[in-house]
Amino acid sequence: MTVPKDVRTHYEKLKATVNRYRTLYHVYDKEEISQEALDSLKHELTGLEAKYPELIAPDSPSQRVGGKPLPGFKKIRHTVAQWSFNDAFSSDELREFDARVKRFLKSAGESARPTYVCELKIDGLKIVFTYEKGILKTAATRGDGVVGEDVTQNIKTIESVPLVLSRPIDIVVEGEVWMSSKNLESLNKAQEKAGKPLYANPRNVAAGSIRQLDPAVAASRKLDVFIYDVAQTSEKMPLTQSEELDYLRELGFKVNPNHVVAKNIAEAVDFWEKWKGKGRHQEYWIDGIVVKVNERELQEKLGYTGKAPRFTIAFKFPAEQVTTTVEDIVLQVGRTGVLTPVAHLKPVSVAGSIVSRATLHNEDEIKRLDVRIGDTVILQKAGDVIPDIVRTLTELRTGKEREFKWPAYVEECGGDGRIERVPGTAAWRCVNKNSFAVIRRRFHNFVGKHALDIEGFGPATVDQLLEKGLVQHYDELFTLTEGDLLTLEGFADISAKKLVASIQKAHRVEFARLLVGLSVPQVGEETAILLADKFRTIDALAKATEVELSEINGIGPVVAKDVVEWFAEKRHQTLVARLKEVLTIVAPAKVPVAKKKLEGKTFVLTGSLETMSRDEAKAKIRRLGGDVSGSVSKKTSYVVAGEEAGSKLDKARSLGVTILTEQKFLDVLKNY
């Protein structure tokens, strides 16, 4: 198949980029982009090679294992070649691995069906251990798969590495050196105190510690190890991988207890599902599972490709960082008329969901990222964080990329479509503040989750009501009947009755939620709660001065100015008056001083909780006088980490902020 010129050009740039970041990571322990982003680039490269095999060159990352050893260490030639594993990023890719295994065995005349051993993939540094007559002789890094670095003296400082085995045998084993999250936290506190940079993850610390010339440094890091494979032994080799793990434990090696035998590939997927949300929630970090054919006889028949065993695959957890392509950049009109540039992306799976859009925030952010249409970018989605472009890989540019030109007018703004830059900010907005696009966004916000939270009232229903002229003002929502709704596409008797019931239920609304629904500039959920707690009624807030507002902790002069100006407009005064006719606005409950046990404490929530929703958790904290923030800083008292917690958890660790599991959080609430 002839390779198109643009594909070959992109492949060469992609190959050079992967090689560069791979060398930095494996040889020099420098992580300029995350391992997840690097995996994503490698996955794209191997995909191109699969489609165009003639592209494959000797210097392709797909043809190599590990990296060259650093100068300054004694070199060790491995007695058994060290392989890397192929990766799977989805259950479909794992099932394809299973199908390949079975096809290969069938072609080799083997009728037996394999079972699989599933083990945790430890996020650490691979080490090869050689024992002679039961005594540790050498420990070496993987290096380039043929030659590694002699790190024996540093490895001997790890308490879980046996210096003498239970039997005087000759054996070569492989394992992963790792650092616990607790030790990483302690190390970063010491680094911060000394004014030194913090470590991003335990893998980097483990690698750096093992490569220290002074073993005392390695000893101080309190590293640990799991052994998972026998490369060679003077005794009879166990018949299965599961028996091999038992054999290692019997000899005195530390083996991770979390492994299972799967009768089929579906059970392997189940094991992956069980662990995918726990990557950083035990003392050692994991970034996936390793699936191996259990039967050694079948392993030997399957053999190896040029770089990896055919009988093993690493099934990675959903990446929080991936690479993708920017296909377009469009402007979205928000509820206050502010224009937000949004990148339309080549769809990609990140953190377990398919993403095709990411906000670029504002004009300044586009310039900072230097992002263009056609660029390859690193996309991040950690825990509950919305997709965000964190870096542009400019080295992959071909010259066909197009800069985004900020327009002079935007059709959705209505009228002549003119736009203006908001003074003192990086934001642009519609000059016409009452275009249909802006009104529609305001209505979406008014009925949405953080405002009146009217169940069943989605954006499509709002749009139909506005387009048909059935509502023009918020209060008219509360006069809608079942008959009105039946004129809309998609509504029948039952669905119309349910929505009317939801609307009637929303007649009684908390003051803070109403403030969010009014689309006052700068007033989001947290600011609305501060204003509601201080002024308690909408009439009192409407009379507030900029000075009074600025005196509230957490309210700055910009917010104060916007709030005063909003309530000063005649049309907004009319809007509030109309809403007071149809709504019962509930003031926040007064918390007795004796019950404000969490006063002065700031909480940040990340991940999902099992016993309550995020909003319920926030309400419990506030009832006890505590504050809730959306970002982690040195002023944060606690970070509550639920399942699939994201980057906020990492930042909390780096800053030494106290982290609470859900159970510990419940204990805090109970104790207070």
Q: Are 529 and 622 in contact (CB under 8 A)?
A: yes
> Where are the alpha helices (H) located in 491-569, listed in sequence order?
493-505, 511-517, 525-535, 538-542, 546-550, 557-568
* 430 is known to lie in a ligand binding site: yes
Topology annotation, domain 510-586: DNA polymerase; domain 1 (1.10.150)
Residues 6+ apart with CB under 8 A from 656: 185, 188, 189, 192
Which tokens belong to 45? 């490269």
Confidence of residue 306 (pLDDT cuts 50, 70, 90): confident
Please tell me the predicted confidence (pLDDT) of residue 165. 92
594-671 shares the fold of 78-316:
no
Beta bridge partners of 418: 409
Please tell me the predicted confidence (pLDDT) of residue 184. 87
543-569 residue pLDDT tens: 999 999 988 877 888 889 999 999 999
* 413 is known to lie in a ligand binding site: yes
Which tokens belong to 455? 């169940």
Please tell me the predicted confidence (pLDDT) of residue 118. 97
Please tell me the predicted confidence (pLDDT) of residue 282. 80
> Where are the alpha helices (H) located in 295-453, listed in sequence order?
296-302, 363-369, 436-447
* 420 is known to lie in a ligand binding site: no
* 614 is known to lie in a ligand binding site: no
237-251, 266-280, 413-427: segment of lowest average pLDDT: 413-427
Beta bridge partners of 602: 627
* pLDDT, mean of residues 265-270: 95
Per-domain residue ranges of the chain: 5-63, 78-316, 321-411, 436-506, 510-586, 594-671
Reported CATH class of domain 321-411: mainly beta
Judge whether residue 281 has pLDDT over 80: no
Please tell me the predicted confidence (pLDDT) of residue 618. 86
Backbone φ and ψ of 19, nearest 5°: -60, -40
Which tokens belong to 148? 């590694």
Please tell me the predicted confidence (pLDDT) of residue 434. 79
Judge whether residue 310 has pLDDT over 90: yes
Judge whether residue 595 has pLDDT over 70: no
Backbone φ and ψ of 500, nearest 5°: -60, -40
202-229 residue pLDDT tens: 888 888 888 887 888 888 888 999 999 9
Report the share of the chain in percent with pLDDT over 70. Answer: 95
Judge whether residue 648 has pLDDT over 90: no
- Average pLDDT over the chain, rounded to whole? 87
Count of Cβ atoms closer than 10 Å to residue 635 Cβ: 10
Judge whether residue 178 has pLDDT over 90: yes
Which tokens belong to 367? 């310039």
Please tell me the predicted confidence (pLDDT) of residue 606. 86
Tell me yes or no: is domain 5-63 CATH 1.10.287.610: yes
318-342 residue pLDDT tens: 877 899 999 999 888 887 788 889 8
Grouping H, G, I as helix, E, B as strand and the rest as coil, residue 155 is: helix
Judge whether residue 383 has pLDDT over 60: no
Q: Which residues are catalytic?
A: 121
Rounded distance between C-alpha atoms, residue 347 and residue 381, angstroms: 14
> Averaging pLDDT over each range in 1-5, 519-523, 538-542, which range is the top one?
538-542
* 84 is known to lie in a ligand binding site: yes
Confidence of residue 380 (pLDDT cuts 50, 70, 90): confident
Q: Give the residue with greater pLDDT, 401 vs 25.
A: 401
Which tokens belong to 606? 């990340």
Confidence of residue 594 (pLDDT cuts 50, 70, 90): low
* 142 is known to lie in a ligand binding site: yes
Reported CATH class of domain 78-316: alpha beta
Reported CATH class of domain 594-671: alpha beta
Rounded distance between C-alpha atoms, residue 551 and residue 463, angstroms: 40
97-112 residue pLDDT tens: 999 999 999 998 888 8
Please tell me the predicted confidence (pLDDT) of residue 672. 63
* 176 is known to lie in a ligand binding site: yes
The answer, as to whether pTM is greater than 0.85, is: no
How far are the Cα atoms of 323, 375, 610 from residue 353, in angstroms, in the given order?
14, 22, 20
134-146 residue pLDDT tens: 999 999 998 888 8
244-253, 271-280, 584-593: segment of lowest average pLDDT: 584-593
Confidence of residue 592 (pLDDT cuts 50, 70, 90): low
Please tell me the predicted confidence (pLDDT) of residue 110. 87
Grouping H, G, I as helix, E, B as strand and the rest as coil, residue 227 is: strand
Cα 178 from chain centre? 22
Please tell me the predicted confidence (pLDDT) of residue 117. 97
Judge whether residue 616 has pLDDT over 70: yes
Please tell me the predicted confidence (pLDDT) of residue 593. 54
Sheet containing strand 658-660, strands side by side? 627-629, 602-606, 638-641, 658-660
CATH of segment(s) 436-506 = 1.10.150.20
25-81 residue pLDDT tens: 765 667 888 888 998 998 999 899 989 989 988 778 776 665 566 566 789 999 998
Report the share of the chain in percent with pLDDT over 90. Answer: 41
Of 608, 656, 642, 663, the C-alpha closest to 280 is 642
Confidence of residue 591 (pLDDT cuts 50, 70, 90): low
